Amino acid sequence: MIKPHGSIVLNPLFIKDAKRCARLAVEADKLPSLLLNSAAAANAVMLGAGYFTPLKGYMNLADAISVAETMKTDNGLFWPVPCLNRTDDIDSIKSAKRIALRDPNIEGKPVLAIQDVAAIEQISDEQLVRITKKVFGTLDQSHPGVATFMTMGKYVISGAIEVLNFSYFEKEFPDTFRTADQIRNEIHAKGWETVVAFQTRNPMHRAHEELCKMAKDAVNADGVLIHMLLGKLKKGDIPADVRDAAIRKMVELYFPVNTVLVTGYGFDMLYAGPREAVLHAIFRQNAGCTHLIVGRDHAGVGNYYGPFEAQEIFDRIPQNELLIHIFKADNTAYSRKLNKVVMMRDAPDHTPEDFVNLSGTRVREMLASGQPLPVEFARPEVADILMRYYQSEEARMVG
């Protein structure tokens, strides 16, 4: 099986030994504590689940700047986005060497992890601007990732962590949330060698379904990992439980049996375009996948990134930095001329009118009003699940 990123073996920071975990929980109650922001909590979950292998905890300021500037840590590890624990309030942890990290996303703010404090550093406005510009490619506060990143806090708390649980993800998504080592174990049990990963924060329409099938056939893969983000999104995105139900229905009805793993991971969306696409590749390599589908405007938002920037960034990465391969995809849509879903680049004789292509706004309007989506665009069973959600949302807003 493909090796994890930067390591011979996976390095999940979750404490699997129940007795040790219980002892750490008792210790945590006596430690100074820090309430994490949602992004830092998501980083802890990803560290615990092995997706951030080989990191051992949160980065310091020098590593964050180096990653932003060069996509490498100070010691030369290839990494595209800083993994940080930031806050504005250090009063309770100023002199602490070991602290309890509390979860902002669960009632009662329970302990999520314990951190050994290597350093507490203040990030200057100039440094924050430099990092933000490099990672997101913009300083526009209308960009949801920029708005979040710029307000996470002026202090950087670095150091190794031990993770005690996976926040709300295991409880809310017991059939879907999986750690990187759990996915590796499932891939191994199935005897798969070549595995294509598909990243999604949205429900999957016909074009996404066919794209997975095209990629699987193109690389002669044994199976497909549909890997959905389960964490925080921007306003207007469809909740994870609705996406999960829609994707599972599509796989059940329209994919050959035992060719797809439907799973999810506990991370907040960054909307960082090219940099986030590279991070997605590391996640999937750590989960045992050999290929990642990178489509048009992968991990983008609005018009902040060019349509293929997320693919082009991989052309600039030295070959030895990543073992996973990228399947570069164009926009995929149903061709009225050919009566099938195609990549638009493979149909140069087509005009826009030859494709069944709906804007996100138009899809939401149709679903909210009870209009069926064209069968060329969405499977009816999937559209029904989405329609029920949008109509309930419409009713709630009117009410």
Q: Are 261 and 223 in contact (CB under 8 A)?
A: yes
List all residues 6 or more positions away from 155 whose beta carbon is below 8 Å from its beta carbon.
86, 87, 88, 90, 120, 121, 122, 123
Locate the DSSP E strands across 245-331. 260-265, 291-294, 325-328
- Rounded Cα distance, 300 and 272, in Å: 6
Q: Which two tokens stand for residue 348?
A: 């140069």
Residue tagged active-site, from 98, 130, 201, 248: 201
Q: Which two tokens stand for residue 236?
A: 């207007």
Active site residue 379: no
Give residue for tokens 């100074």.
32
Please name the amino acid found at residue 8. I
Other Cβ atoms less than 10 A from the Cβ of 307: the count is: 14
| DSSP letter (8 states) at residue 142 | T
- Rounded Cα distance, 394 and 136, in Å: 33
Residue tagged active-site, from 98, 202, 331, 357: 202
**Among the listed residues 114, 81, 78, 76, the one whose alpha carbon sits nearest the alpha carbon of residue 98:** 114
Other Cβ atoms less than 10 A from the Cβ of 317: the count is: 15
Active site residue 220: no
Catalytic residue ranges = 201-202
